[in-house]
Amino acid sequence: MRGLIVKLIGGLYTVKTEDRLITCKARGKFRHLNQSPKVGDQVEFNEDFIMEIHDRRNDLVRPPISNVDQVILVFSATQPKIGYSLLDRFIALITYHNIPIVLVISKMDLLDEDETLELKNQLKYYETVLDVVYTASIGDFDTDGAAKLFKDKISVLAGQSGVGKSTLLNAIAGLNIKTQEISKALGRGKHTTRHIELLEIEGGLVADSAGFSSLDFGDMDEVALSHGFSDFFELSHDCKFRGCLHINEPK
C-alpha cells in the first residue's frame, strides 16, 4: 500500500491512505541506511511496517518534515515584538530549501494607529520579496482570508514561541491545540506543541511545529547562505569576486 505519513509519536507512524489511517513502525533497515521516515513522506507500507520511502521534494530538519508546499511564518506585532534578525534567518533557511514563504503578522489589533503605520513601514521591504498577511488576536481573526492560505497545500507553521500559531489553527478550524500565555520573565512564549502532526484544515494539511528561537543552519556554507537572500543573490551575478563573499578581495 501507498500512503502519506501524517503523524509521528514515540516511534509510531500514522499513515493516511485514501480511505483510512493505519499506525505502524518503520523497518529496521532504515537505521542501517541512516534514514528515518518523516511526517510528509510518501511511503510504501503494510499493516505493520513502513517498507519504502519515496523520493522527497524537500526535506526539513527542524521541524522534521518533508514534501512541504509552503512555510507560513507567524510573527507577532507585539508581545513579543518582531525579531527581524530571527525573521531573516528563517527566510534564508527556508529559501535555501526552495520552499515558498508566507509571512503572517499576528496581534495587529493590539497596536494603535501610529504603531500600525510604523510597523508596516518597517515591513515594506519584506513585502517586496514575500507574501505578507496581517491578522488579529484571539477571537478576531480574519479566518476566511487566513484559511485560503492552506487550501490544497501541505504547510508548516513556524515562528517565535507565543506568537499565535496554535491560536490561529484553533480559530480557523475549531481545533483545541494547547496554548499558553507569554512568560513575563522571558518575554517569549512557552513551547506548546510536542509532536509533529499534519492536521486537515480548509482542504489542506498543516503541521503545527514547536516554536523555537534559534535555527540550525547545518552544513550550509557562506555561498549557500547568501543564496537564501533573493535580492543579494540576484545582484551577486554581476560581482567580479568569486561567490560575492568580499572576504579577501584586493583593494
pLDDT-derived band of residue 31, with 50, 70 and 90 as boundaries? confident
In whole angstroms, what is the distance from residue 86 CA to residue 75 CA?
Answer: 10
Domain ranges of the chain: 2-55, 65-208, 221-251
The CATH fold of domain 65-208: Rossmann fold (3.40.50)
Look up residue 222 and give its three cell numbers.
Answer: 557562506
Q: Which CATH code for domain 2-55? A: 2.40.50.140
What are the residues whose beta carbons fall under 8 Å from the beta carbon of 84, sequence distance 6 or more?
A: 122
- Write out pLDDT tens, residues 194-234: 578 898 887 899 886 554 445 667 777 877 787 777 777 88
pLDDT-derived band of residue 190, with 50, 70 and 90 as boundaries? very low
Answer yes or no: pTM beyond 0.85. Answer: no
